[in-house]
Amino acid sequence: MKIIFHSSFNFLYSLILFTALGLLVIVNSGCQRDRSDPIPDVSHIEVEVDFIHFDELIRDAWNQGPEGVEKLLEAYPAFSEVYFGGIMEIWSFDEPLDSLYSRMQEFLESPFYVTMSDTIQLAFSNIEEVKADLASAFQFYQYYFPERNVPPVYFFVSEFTYGNVIFEKEPGVDGLGIGLDMFLHGYFDYSVLSFFNTAFSAYNMRTLDRAHLPKKTMDVIWDDILGPPPMGRTIDIMLYYAKKHHLNKLTLPYTHDSIIFEYTPEQLEWVEANEAHIYNYLIEEDLLYTTDMGRYARLVNPAPHSAGMPPEAPGRVVNWLAYKMLRAWIRNNPDRTLEDLIELTDGDEFLRQSRYRPGRY
């Protein structure tokens, strides 16, 4: 059984494989999609997304006692294993059911859970709009990946651990989980947690809201399709993140770039105005082909700003630049398909094929 956890604040890839699975990616030909590209008509694609409020089902089950808990485990065995064993880390199926009942009962009665439950109800009073946004994304997902299933979506409370998880619901069929307590910015002050985890710092906290939920949810699907980030040269890692940006642009075509790239409008304006300077900095500092993680990690991972650049330069600026390179690759390789792009992992080959020049695309 595969489980891929994607934290909304920690973008280091976390993968647990209980069974080795091969990825068969069959994609719609054509790579185009940017603000200037036409949005494909997907009105003929019907998707039915099964939205499961696992957070509510848990409360109902525990109110019925151990029998209710047993019925919940029987009805949702795969996600129950993921949730109680992987997310909450309080129980496994080889333990007595009574131990799960008592441990979870304590959690459900805690002031933390009561507060989180009330806050989630307030923040997601428009949950139907969230579902509509996800259903729209899955329509485009089916357009580009017709052979992959539209996963059922499980809403849960993660105790501030994971924003999203993709797992094998059954052989060949994926399921998707969304930790609603990781998308409460504006309703919950995440800064109270920053003392224990710097990932809740202000530059990350801004993106832990309802507006970023669809994008971050699609991110975990791309984690599954693309695999973990490569441990090679900076340009190889840049290519990886450029693909994720591109796939999000394909499936979330109405979403603003400030969400896709997780930048403020001011930060977007800065990178657009300084594209050539960013590229020249990478060349001058010999950063494109370095394999020194200590040098490139500060440029590709979340940070208040990109090291070595002006303070206005947002974090992960090289990932944004990589997307500009990808746009050049698409325009200069019109016969290449999305499958070709996904399979391309050599950053040097990618850069040469793109014939990238700052500001041209």
Domain edge (last residue) among 166, 193, 226: 226
Q: What is the pLDDT of residue 5?
A: 78
* Tokens standing for residue 119: 């806050």
Residues 126 and 272 in one domain: no
Residues 188 and 158 in one domain: yes
On the CB side of 21, how many CA atoms lie within 13 Å of its CA? Answer: 22
Q: Would 108 be classed as within a structural domain?
A: yes
Range of the domain at 297: 234-354
Residues 88 and 187 in one domain: yes
The answer to whether residue 9 scores a pLDDT higher than 80 is: no
* Cβ–Cβ under 8 Å, residues 343 and 323: no
Residues 220 and 249 in one domain: no
CA dihedral 230, 231, 232, 234 (to 10 degrees): 80
Please give the residue that has the higher pLDDT: either 229 or 194: 229
Residues 217 and 265 in one domain: no
Residue 324: pLDDT band (50, 70, 90) is: very high
Task: For residues 180 and 154, give the distance between their C-alpha atoms in angstroms, rounded to a whole number.
Answer: 10
Contacts of 345 (CB under 8 A, 6+ apart): 230, 236, 239, 240
Rounded mean pLDDT of 168-183? 96
The answer to whether residue 8 scores a pLDDT higher than 50 is: no
Task: For residues 296 and 290, give the distance between their C-alpha atoms in angstroms, rounded to a whole number.
Answer: 8
Render 29-52 in DSSP notation, one character per residue: S----STTSPPP--TT------EE
The answer to whether residue 23 scores a pLDDT higher than 80 is: no
Q: Would 187 be classed as within a structural domain?
A: yes
Q: In the predicted model, what is the mean pLDDT of the chain?
A: 90
Rounded mean pLDDT of 98-102? 94
Residues 20 and 78 in one domain: yes
Domain edge (last residue) among 196, 226, 256: 226
Q: Would 46 be classed as within a structural domain?
A: yes
Rounded mean pLDDT of 16-45? 59
Q: What is the pLDDT of residue 361?
A: 60
Q: Would 54 be classed as within a structural domain?
A: yes
Phi and psi torsions of 102, nearest 5°? -70, -40
Q: Would 211 be classed as within a structural domain?
A: yes
Residues 217 and 240 in one domain: no
Q: What is the pLDDT of residue 10?
A: 40
Domain edge (last residue) among 191, 207, 226: 226
Predicted confidence (pLDDT) per residue in 277-316, tens digit: 999 999 999 999 999 988 988 899 888 889 899 999 999 9
Question: Mapping DSSP to helix (H, G, I), strand (E, B) and coil, where does residue 78 land?
Answer: helix
- Structural domains of the chain, count: 2
Estimate to the nearest angstrom the gap between the alpha carbon of 181 and the chain centroid.
15
* H runs (alpha helix) in the chain: 54-63, 66-75, 77-80, 97-108, 111-123, 127-144, 202-205, 213-226, 234-251, 257-260, 265-273, 275-284, 293-300, 317-332, 338-343, 347-354
Q: What is the pLDDT of residue 154?
A: 98
Q: Would 361 be classed as within a structural domain?
A: no
* Cβ–Cβ under 8 Å, residues 325 and 241: no
Residues 256 and 213 in one domain: no
Residues 10 and 159 in one domain: yes
Closest CA to 324 of 288, 299, 351, 361: 361
Q: Would 26 be classed as within a structural domain?
A: yes
Q: Would 219 be classed as within a structural domain?
A: yes
Question: Mapping DSSP to helix (H, G, I), strand (E, B) and coil, where does residue 96 land?
Answer: coil
Residues 35 and 119 in one domain: yes
Predicted confidence (pLDDT) per residue in 120-175, tens digit: 999 999 999 999 999 999 999 999 999 999 999 999 999 999 999 999 999 999 99
Closest CA to 238 of 281, 280, 297, 189: 297
CA dihedral 106, 108, 112, 113 (to 10 degrees): 170
Residues 204 and 60 in one domain: yes
What distance, in Å, lies between the first and last C-alpha atoms of the chain?
Answer: 42
Q: What is the pLDDT of residue 31?
A: 61
Residues 74 and 142 in one domain: yes
Please give the residue that has the higher pLDDT: either 185 or 199: 185
